[in-house]
Homo-oligomer: A and B are copies of this chain.
Amino acid sequence: MSSTWGEKIKISIFGESHGAAIGVVLDGLPAGEELDFDAIALQMSRRAPGKDATATPRKESDLPNIVSGVLNGRTTGAPLCALMENTNTKSGDYENLKRIPRPGHADYPAYLRYGGFNDVRGGGHFSGRLTAPLVFAGAVCRQILQRRGIRIGSHVYSVSDCKDTPFSPSDIPEDLLQKLSSVPFPVINRDAEQAMRDTIEKARMAQDSVGGVIECALTGVPAGIGGPLFGGIEPVFSSILFGIPAVKGVEFGAGFGAAELYGSENNDAYYYEDGTVKTRTNNAGGILGGITTGMPIVFRAAFKPTPSIAREQDSIDLTAKTDAKLHVHGRHDPCIVSRAAPVVEAAAAIALINLMNL
């Protein structure tokens, strides 16, 4: 538990937002896997802040420095450690955060959990920046999966009340996932993107923030992966997805919508197509009894709005033990949902590879 996840391929994430560096160790990778560093950089770039409508990956500070586990461009089978240096970390008066905790942030519970010894600068180990090593780890796992015919992609399903077209239940083409997983603001319907951007801009102008939902699909996953009870796709995926800061909901297939359906509607009827077993609908999200059916795995993760907002908020003064007003300074993302897409894809890749026999 804590910052370590996985059994077959264990990831151990470390670092604080304003410390020397953040990073990750991947233990258990198969040996001899060639790594495509451009593909890794592309994923890092999609998550990086300050990016916008451009898909061009640019070199930036959180380009990973691989410390171990790779030789001549291939995995050695020994643990792979990658570091990302923290730069431009101007730590102002963060002591204030220990006194007046930000609503919606980990400040107050972390203070109790760590007796005030946790690093609060930039959110410390709770910072969204810690998703960078997760994206790195996922980018490595994704390549290994892709070599075995598995494709992962996601899109911004919604921002506030603006919704994209959902994935088709019957057909998710590989090149759609390929395209979505290489751009910074992935949507299926370009019109939806504009509405989302308008909503985000409006929130920014109002010194506010908005949340949203990422929908992710994995195709090419063989049927028969997973297991009953706690070894199923859903529990394993959710245990890493809910580890992403700001995720407050996860659903597979029809998800919460399934709870409103009749069995006759929700059951996915089987049929043969060219000798392959398929289902006409995919309310199961490709999973029955915790095991893959061969249909695409489809799930959604809900992100709450960024708690850092510029407008004044009600809080408390832990020292004076009185109510207090809080004014958070600094520039903050009015919406992190598009940047969360590569994080969700990374988590999915790490989860799936842990359930497979490579």
A residues with a Cβ closer than 8 A to B are 1-5, 7, 10, 12-16, 19-23, 25, 27-28, 31-32, 65-69, 71, 74-81, 83, 101, 103-110, 112-119, 124-126, 130, 158, 160-161, 203, 206, 208-213, 223-232, 234-236, 238-243, 245, 247-256, 258-272, 275, 277, 279-280, 283-285, 287-294, 300, 302-309, 311, 313-316, 318, 321-323, 337, 357
Across the interface, which residues of B come within 8 angstroms of A80, CB to CB?
A: 14
A21 interface neighbour in B68, B226, B251, Cβ under 8 Å: B68
CB distance from A160 to the nearest CB of B (A): 6
Across the interface, which residues of B come within 8 angstroms of A249, CB to CB?
A: 249-252, 255-256, 258-259
Give the secondary structure class of A's interface: mixed
A68 touches B19 (CB 8 A): yes
Known: A2-B79, A256-B302. A10 touches B12 (CB 8 A): yes
Known: A67-B21, A108-B293. A238 touches B236 (CB 8 A): no
A31 touches B235 (CB 8 A): no
Task: Name 8 extra pairs, CB < 8 A, besides A16-B78, A78-B119, A271-B316.
Answer: A4-B27, A12-B25, A14-B80, A77-B117, A112-B291, A213-B256, A266-B307, A269-B315
B235 touches A288 (CB 8 A): no
A67 touches B12 (CB 8 A): no
Across the interface, which residues of B come within 8 angstroms of A225, CB to CB?
A: 113
A258 interface neighbour in B101, B116, B305, Cβ under 8 Å: B305
A263 touches B309 (CB 8 A): yes
Across the interface, which residues of B come within 8 angstroms of A247, CB to CB?
A: 234
Known: A14-B69, A277-B316, A293-B109. A79 touches B267 (CB 8 A): no
B109 touches A248 (CB 8 A): no
B28 touches A2 (CB 8 A): yes
B15 touches A67 (CB 8 A): yes
